[in-house]
Amino acid sequence: MVYAYEVILGSNQWFMLWEDRENEADRFIAGDEPGKIIAMDSLRRLRDFASAHALIVAWEELGTLNLNRFCQEISALTPARKLTVDQCAILLNAWNFFDDFARTLDLERAWFDSDG
């Protein structure tokens, strides 16, 4: 299944398509050019893209990653500080986002194939 995903950073907002693949690793929808993840500046433009590419998207299940909030939580971490369930969810969602993002761009393999 394909889902719309909103990413917020500063006052900017992007919309991407994320694919939950049953027997393979999850990933974002990439363009024809290597290293290009599809990201639009509006949900309407993302809908147009999905329609033009005959993608079936669960639009009602929009995911959101607020990187402003993520940076706030990361910068406030200390060894003795207890986290709320909400704070843990923010950190885990960001971790999963970056993992899928890196996998989509094949950065995991590039990291392990490098000498450094």
Predicted confidence band at 108 (pLDDT cuts at 50, 70, 90)? low
Predicted confidence band at 113 (pLDDT cuts at 50, 70, 90)? low
Closest CA to 8 of 83, 48, 67: 67
Q: Which pLDDT does position 37 carry in this prediction?
A: 93
Closest CA to 9 of 69, 77, 74, 89: 69
Lookup result for tokens 């003795």? 80
Of the chain, the percentage scoring pLDDT greater than 90 comes to 66
Q: Average pLDDT, whole number, for the chain?
A: 90
Stated pTM of the model:
0.82
Per-residue tokens: 6: 């909103």
What are the residue ranges of helices labelled H in 11-114? 43-52, 67-75, 85-104, 107-113
Q: Which pLDDT does position 106 carry in this prediction?
A: 83
Predicted confidence band at 81 (pLDDT cuts at 50, 70, 90)? confident
Mean pLDDT within 11-25: 92
